[in-house]
Structure 1
Amino acid sequence: MNGTTRTSDDPAAFVETVRSVLREQRLRARRSQADVAIAVASSRKRVSDFELGLVDPGFGFVAALAAELGVPLSISTPADPFGGREPLFVDNTPAEVI
């Protein structure tokens, strides 16, 4: 994934990017949905539904999946709660948190 993904205009686009990056990494690693699901204590259906965009399983699931697949995922909190926000990184690509 190259470039910067900004979510201030379209948060759904950022979520879709996260789904896409995680699915692509799973496929590159030649791992099945079932294999990854077992590794993150979930079900193959939940992984499939997430990859298809049918559910939003929450940050814990996404973080576990990212860790299992070796995809860097970090969220920075606002430096100043009343000012600007720090970036969110997925696969080393910054995206603005809204």
Structure 2
Amino acid sequence: MEYQAENTVSSFFYYMWNAWSEEECKTVYGGMYPHFWEKWCVATDKGTFGAAERFYLELSEDNRRILVERAVSIYDGRGLRNRNRNIKNQTACRETLSV
């Protein structure tokens, strides 16, 4: 799939900031989601600032592509591509809930 670079980067960050959750992880990675959710939780150990970047760096090229394609399917640069998606009330990483 062909993307505009700046829209892809923006879409990825908006997705990770606003939509990424355990439920989204299940949607993106299917039965392997526990492995990826644990990677995400480790990435948030140092705080949420920079967690998306740390998580992305831990992924293989194929798994990065899958994640970015999901992000672009939901976000178009800044705005939601499909406003009917329910991204509220989704589970955050367990470490962030214990604050």
More RCO (CA 8 Å, sep 6+): 2
The structure in which a higher percent of residues are strand is 1
The structure in which a higher percent of residues are helix is 2
Using the size of structure 1 for normalisation, the TM-score is: 0.32
Using the size of structure 2 for normalisation, the TM-score is: 0.31
